[in-house]
Amino acid sequence: MFSRDRIPKALLFSLIVIPLFWLGSRFQASHSDGFVFAKSKIESSHAVQSKIGRVSDVHFPIFSSYNAHYGVGYTNVHMELRAVGSAGKADFEIDAAKDDRDWQIKRALMNGSPINLE
């Protein structure tokens, strides 16, 4: 059986380890090739600039998703990002893929509506 003094230690351990794991996964995602590619596309997009102004920050919101699938010669990523511009902010949902050399945007939504980031 569990003793009374072991339950608080296990709970304390969980309250420390889970946030550290979450922070580590966010750090890894924000430094990935897919994020860097998507960020550059958002920052340079005229369509985005016409809606929220010059983009000053692109980041992962606190409760957003990031999924990456790796294979031989390809990478697929799905991510939810937030961009802050001089005239507002926008939420993005982006699917991107990389073949042997190049990244491509497969699908991009800005505030739930399709947008061309190319």
**Tell me, what's the pLDDT at 29?**
66
**Tell me, what's the pLDDT at 91?**
97
Distances from the Cα of 91 to the Cα of 33, 45, 47, 53, 101, angstroms: 20, 14, 14, 14, 28
Q: Where are the domains of the chain?
A: 1-31, 33-114
pTM over 0.95? The answer is: no
Buried b / exposed e over 70-107, threshold 16 CB at 10 Å, is eeeeebebbbbbbbebeeeebebbbbbbbeeeebebee
Over the stretch 26-83, which tens digit does the pLDDT of each residue have?
A: 777 666 888 999 999 999 999 999 999 999 999 988 888 888 888 888 899 999 999 9
Question: Which CATH number applies to 33-114?
Answer: 3.10.450
